[in-house]
Amino acid sequence: MGRSRTPLNERIIIALDVEHPEQAKEVVKKCESHVGFYKVGLQLFMASWFETVDWIVDRGHRVMLDLKFFDIPETVKLAVEQVNNRGVSFATIHGNDPIIRAAVSARGDMKLLAVTVLTSFGEEDMRAMGMTQSVKDLVFFRAKRALELGCDGVVSSGLEAEKMRSELGEKLLIVTPGIRPGANIGDSGDDQKRIVTAGMAIKNGANHVVVGRPITRAKDPIKVIELMQQDIISAS
């Protein structure tokens, strides 16, 4: 689905990064009037396996299963096969060539997203590892390679989205975490380093934005969602 045809209630993917399945279900119930896409990550999946995924899908919503598969290719292939036919829309894998090939070979109808560089990783971390290229260049290289190998898209910061969109075209799905309300840009107060607003990410070329704590910890999550959706509309 092209960016222009993505429904507003699927632009934001709410990250259910909570400890217990019941907490996740409460978030969904509070937000489902405005959002129909949810991310299940490693913490929640380990607490409930597919039970929460199935519950969300049964309510008519979409799921991004964010387990970032990273193992020998055959193991990744078998893991992807386990996810097929569960109603999952997006699944994440690490952007290593053999892993991508194995995952693509086992993929059913769901979309595979390669993780490029985690949004908790900054330029100073690149330098500390002795890497001379910029984060933006590394993300672009990995995204280009993932697309060539048959991956549907990538997970990347909105700071890198513009270059990928302009040079790799509309075929690439770009899903952007590290989203914060405008007032918090530059002072996220957490482990995210490469952050942008929802509107900035969409303007730069992202298809979807992943938002966790700014919504799930808000006193009025619907108000936060509506503000972000308005930001997205203004940027589209």
Q: Where are the domains of the chain?
A: 8-235
Per-residue pLDDT band for 182 (boundaries 50, 70, 90) equals low
Alpha-carbon gap, residue 155 to 116, rounded angstroms:
6
* Segment 83-113, tens digit of pLDDT: 998 999 999 999 889 999 999 999 999 999 9
| Confidence check: pLDDT of 159 > 80 | yes
Residue carrying the six token digits 């607490």: 47
Q: Is 122 exposed, middle or buried (0-12, 13-18, 19+ CB in 10 A)?
A: middle
Q: 105: which residues sit within 8 A by CB, 6+ positions away?
A: 77
Residues catalogued as catalytic: 68
- CATH number assigned to the domain covering 8-235: 3.20.20.70
CA distances from 33 to 51, 134, 216, 226, 236 (A): 22, 40, 15, 11, 22
* Segment 55-74, tens digit of pLDDT: 999 999 999 999 999 999 99
Q: Decide: helix, strand or coil at residue 47.
A: helix
Per-residue pLDDT band for 183 (boundaries 50, 70, 90) equals very low
Alpha-carbon gap, residue 166 to 231, rounded angstroms:
22
**Average pLDDT value over all residues in the chain:** 89
Per-residue pLDDT band for 2 (boundaries 50, 70, 90) equals low
